[in-house]
């Protein structure tokens, strides 16, 4: 009960809780079930808050943390259950409270069938602006459910070859040289490392990595550089160090500087913070070499698929990334990975309390599960 009371408190549900039923399953208890009484559709959305524990303190240019709040979702229809997840690192502005509020307002009983994905997800998107992680948690659960109803994994529904998955990068956070070296040793199975930069010790970070391994590196500056000449100089130095691309080198508002850097850099410059949804394409086209798509930024698998198609049509590079997430959202993103140039799908590897099994990594390469839907299994 202690855990349950804490969940209720996290969700602001202790007082009131009007409209909620509380159902106990084996797996942590459900907080919200937003099937309205008396409605006839078989579709039920339920959700519960969960807190991911990070194996290592996670340091970005914007700060450090040891946990990530997520919301786990399920959509049930005719005894079939689809799983979804919202991962909400604090800097993106969503939280257990906001996701609870959003998901409470999602009424799937108005749709006769989960196959009406276009209408259902358009409806979900229009409920409120923002809330992309919460939206993704519905989108992923719906995809999982529909794939299971079709008895097909999503890579197959999209016509993709599961053998064409890329290597995933493994993230090395900003830290002291000894800690970085230790993490790099742990990351030996990976064929590409994503090194976080932008905290003033960039060369030290890269040199620490290079003192342990010659494996490929990509770097994520998280908007940490402010001078374009210094940024250009760094891209040249990084290229010499075996770096393959640079993610979000400067603040997303520095459009002219980034466009100049992209034109002059020997390495591709990838947008992350600068592109969230499909609507942001006009901000990155002609400014960056490519984009980093994340389900939690764009609202889910459907939007991500469209963004990949658009990026391809615009001759832009595509990377698919993640937050710290369970294997649910990571595996959902991995279903799209045969379409991308680079993948950074290590979010489930950075936590010690995953609740699903999904993708595995073999010699650094993503191995997709062959089950229907997103292909995950509860642990």
Least gap, CB of 23 to its own copies (angstroms): 28
For Cα atoms 299, 302, 304, give the angle at the middle one, nearest 5 degrees: 70
Contact segment (CB under 8 A) with its own copies among 17-25, 92-100, 159-167, 224-232 equals 159-167
Told to check if 80 binds its own copies by CB under 8 A, we report no
Binds its own copies by CB under 8 A, chosen from 5, 12, 57, 119: 119
Told to check if 255 binds its own copies by CB under 8 A, we report no
Told to check if 9 binds its own copies by CB under 8 A, we report no
Site string for its own copies, 120-139 (x = CB under 8 A): xx------------------
Please say whether the beta carbons of 243 and 267 come within 8 A: yes
DSSP one-letter string for 160-229:
--GGGPPBBEEEE-S--HHHHHHHHHHTTT-SEEEEE--SS-HHHHHHHHHTT---EEEEE-TT----HH
Told to check if 160 binds its own copies by CB under 8 A, we report yes
Please say whether the beta carbons of 41 and 112 come within 8 A: yes
Least gap, CB of 314 to its own copies (angstroms): 8
Least gap, CB of 159 to its own copies (angstroms): 3
**Closer residue to its own copies in complex, CB, 114/224:** 114
- Cα 220 from Cα 198, distance rounded (Å): 8
Told to check if 278 binds its own copies by CB under 8 A, we report yes
- Cα 222 from Cα 198, distance rounded (Å): 7
Rounded to 5 degrees, φ, ψ at 212 are -110, -35
**Closer residue to its own copies in complex, CB, 69/373:** 373
Rounded to 5 degrees, φ, ψ at 277 are -120, 180
Binds its own copies by CB under 8 A, chosen from 36, 164, 236, 377: 164
DSSP 268: -
Told to check if 146 binds its own copies by CB under 8 A, we report yes
Q: At what angle do helices 255-264 and 228-240 cross, to 10 degrees?
A: 30
Told to check if 338 binds its own copies by CB under 8 A, we report yes
Q: Which residues contact 349 (CB under 8 A, 6 or more apart)?
A: 170, 361
Least gap, CB of 295 to its own copies (angstroms): 17
Please say whether the beta carbons of 153 and 376 come within 8 A: no
Site string for its own copies, 300-329 (x = CB under 8 A): --x---x--xx--x----------------
Told to check if 233 binds its own copies by CB under 8 A, we report no
Told to check if 283 binds its own copies by CB under 8 A, we report no
Instruction: Kindly list the residues in this chain that would bind its own copies in the complex (CB under 8 A).
Output: 115-121, 146, 150, 152, 156-161, 164, 278-279, 281, 302, 306, 309-310, 313, 338-339
């Amino acid at each position: 009960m202690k855990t349950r009371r804490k969940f209720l408190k996290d969700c602001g549900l202790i007082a009131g809780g009007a409209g909620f039923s509380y159902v106990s399953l084996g797996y942590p208890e459900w907080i919200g079930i937003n099937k309205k009484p008396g409605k006839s559709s078989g579709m039920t959305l339920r959700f519960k808050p969960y807190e991911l524990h990070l194996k290592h303190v996670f340091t970005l240019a914007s700060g450090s943390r040891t946990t990530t709040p997520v919301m786990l979702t399920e959509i049930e229809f005719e005894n079939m259950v689809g799983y979804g997840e919202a991962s909400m690192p604090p800097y993106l502005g969503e939280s257990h409270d906001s996701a609870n509020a959003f998901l409470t307002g999602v009424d799937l009983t108005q749709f006769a069938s989960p196959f009406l994905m276009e209408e259902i997800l358009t409806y979900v998107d229009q409920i409120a602006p923002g809330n992309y992680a919460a939206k993704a948690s519905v989108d992923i659960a719906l995809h999982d459910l529909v794939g299971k109803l079709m008895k097909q994994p999503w890579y197959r529904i999209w016509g993709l070859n599961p053998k064409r998955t890329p290597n995933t990068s493994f993230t090395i956070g900003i830290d002291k040289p000894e800690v970085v070296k230790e993490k790099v040793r742990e990351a030996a199975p990976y064929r590409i490392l994503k090194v976080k930069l932008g905290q003033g010790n960039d060369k030290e970070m890269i040199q620490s990595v290079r003192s342990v391994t010659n494996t490929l590196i990509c770097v994520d500056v998280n908007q940490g550089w402010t001078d374009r000449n210094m940024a250009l100089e760094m891209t040249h130095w990084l290229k010499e160090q075996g770096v393959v691309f640079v993610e979000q080198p400067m603040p997303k508002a520095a459009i002219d500087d980034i466009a100049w850097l992209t034109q002059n850099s020997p390495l591709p410059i990838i947008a992350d913070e600068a592109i969230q949804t499909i609507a942001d394409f006009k901000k990155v086209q002609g400014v960056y070499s490519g984009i980093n798509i994340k389900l939690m930024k764009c609202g889910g698998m459907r939007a991500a698929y469209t963004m990949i198609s658009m990026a391809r049509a615009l001759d832009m590079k595509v990377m698919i990334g993640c937050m710290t997430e369970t294997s649910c959202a990571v595996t959902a993103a991995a279903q799209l990975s045969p379409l991308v140039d680079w993948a950074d799908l290590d979010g489930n590897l950075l936590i010690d309390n995953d609740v699903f099994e999904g993708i595995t990594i073999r010699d650094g390469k993503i191995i997709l599960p062959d089950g229907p839907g997103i292909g995950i299994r509860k642990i």
